[in-house]
A and B are shown apart, each in its own frame.
Chain A
């Protein structure tokens, strides 16, 4: 059971194939081009006071002090890569892991966040490394060779996302841009949530991680995003031990007959509305008859970076569409 949970979680974290694009992510990522010195420069280095170094950042591995503005950053997870790029630190990245694929222009390498190799990482002479999981003791190993490392674990709530973006902003000298990005995200989230009227009874949904019918519950970050728009997750009763990624029975899904089906296995596993409709017993499901099968990008639906707003919007738009019967 425990093994499966870990694997499912690892699979989720590592689901990182394909590309996603949308207007919103472009606008969110526009922080990359905006100069971080729009606040009045007060020092000869052109940095605003709150972006002066040294800085101390409270990450999951404790207080980390960064002496100078990092110019050779390594990001070992797709989500932190997206966050760093979105706060304007794209030019400071020297290497990102093999799963990172967004946005364009990131220096993708063979480095792995899943089986990190300390020598391979050190050979880039980084002055800051950002990781999501402390696998194989990588955090301690990097600290012991005096490379500052930030452990940014998977978010549990949207507030976690905001504070992680702000931490990375401070750590890279883009505190102001990070704050602006967070303010934009908060505003967009509010706007999206306001567009979804409360429903009685609430709509139900099934979120598919892979064709083996692995799903997520509301206790996961991805699941919590659905809760924001008031959707009820059919996978919740299937998770008695609370590990968050149960494998559901096909019988159960058909019996539940959810109002909406969200596919987060469109890229990895080639699933789409047509393929799902052809599964035995699935063709008569309400969601399939009503065209309420939502094909998500695997990446957007598995990362907790700035594009979570796109994920929320996709959910909200289809929820409203199903409710109004359009």
Chain B
């Protein structure tokens, strides 16, 4: 039904074109993100240092020890983290849009963001009042999973298990958790700055730890979602029709939602709430490659990674040596784009 919302482009050629654009975009974003930064390391020196890391090649380094530290401990892990976060948010967004047959669905739809926000705020507030010391990422991760679990249980229990019921349950849970988060935050106004800093989104710069932290979740999540890409295509024609074709609709939906949630929760845990990536990237991909999930899903990962690396580059260079929260940058580009997507949708969203 709603796959017709967006213009269908004839297959094959545009898809290969999209793949090439995506690869070229990611490659150039990664190179730019590595070469450019608040610390001026010199383009050729950085490229030299990177080539030096390739096996069997040994170049004399031009960078000082301190500059190498900046490159390998701060800049490169940040680029990699941006790519991972962008890829998984875009993939999760595309998967949610497929499962719920709703072009406005984003990875935060079912309470991930509100749950993670509450978890992070609690961790920050409890640490400030000296009750318990807990790092923010695991708390945000746990909060995100609790949020979605609550949404799912509510939607299951009171509803007829249609996607719409689940989405509405998500709205209720998200409102409730946001209220709780705001309450905790107001009661601990001394932590306001740190909480907002987290909510606005920022790619952490604590070396490779965050990358290693989320990599397993990203791999599992992406693996499960991509494995269901054909079934999502069948699901797009409607629950009844898909069931008639022998697709276990409920099971596919639960699995894909669970996988997308896991990936989103991991991304949110290390990057805070980065909005719009999960909406604008899949829609852009759909515009160029057509609506089949077989192509939309992998291409969304590629474009999402490229988009996030480029956005983070903007976040840390536009007002260098100060930084913009990355959530502000993505929303700045995302909001106008979203209007265009809405304009091109000829039917109501639900």
Contact = CB atoms under 8 A, between A and B. Distances in A.
B39 A284 contact: no
B324 A1 contact: yes
Contacts of A284: 65-66, 69
Nearest to B75: A251
A239 interface: yes
Interface string B315-348: 0100111111100100000000000000000000
B38 A252 contact: yes
B186 interface: yes
A17 B124 CA distance: 13
B74 A280 contact: yes
B319 A268 contact: no
B206 to A, nearest CB: 6
Contact of A7 (B65, B192, B322): B192
Interface stretch (A87-95, A144-152, A158-166, A241-249): A241-249
A252 B200 contact: no
A272 B73 CA distance: 21
Given A115-B186, A214-B193, A246-B322, A254 B74 contact: yes
Interface string A1-23: 10010011011101111000000
A4 B193 CA distance: 9
Interface stretch (B2-10, B127-135, B148-156, B225-233): B127-135
Interface in A81-114: 99, 112, 114
Residues of A in contact with B, size category: 35 or more
Contacts of A211: 194
Contacts of B197: 7, 210, 212, 214, 247
Interface in A220-245: 237-241
Contact of B194 (A1, A11, A252): A11
A7 B192 CA distance: 7
A255 interface: yes
Interface in B147-197: 186, 189-194, 196-197
Interface in A272-308: 279-281, 284
A209 interface: yes
A211 B328 CA distance: 20
B73 A281 contact: yes
Interface string B203-219: 00111100000000000
Residues of B in contact with A, size category: 35 or more
A250 interface: yes
B323 A249 contact: yes
Interface string B18-40: 00000000000000000001111
B204 to A, nearest CB: 9
B70 interface: yes
Given A17-B129, A268-B190, A7 B196 contact: yes
A62 interface: no
Nearest to A239: B322
B192 A11 contact: yes
Nearest to B40: A255
B202 interface: yes
Contacts of A251: 37-39, 70, 74-75, 205, 316, 321
A213 B324 CA distance: 12
Q: Give the residue among A10, A11, A210, A211 with the most B Cβ atoms within 10 A.
A: A11
Given A10-B192, A257-B66, A281-B70, 19 more contacts: A1-B328, A7-B196, A7-B197, A14-B190, A15-B190, A115-B189, A247-B322, A247-B325, A250-B74, A251-B74, A252-B38, A255-B38, A255-B39, A268-B194, A270-B127, A279-B206, A280-B205, A280-B206, A284-B69
14 contacts: A1-B328, A11-B196, A17-B190, A114-B189, A214-B197, A238-B321, A241-B319, A246-B322, A247-B322, A248-B322, A249-B320, A251-B37, A280-B77, A281-B69
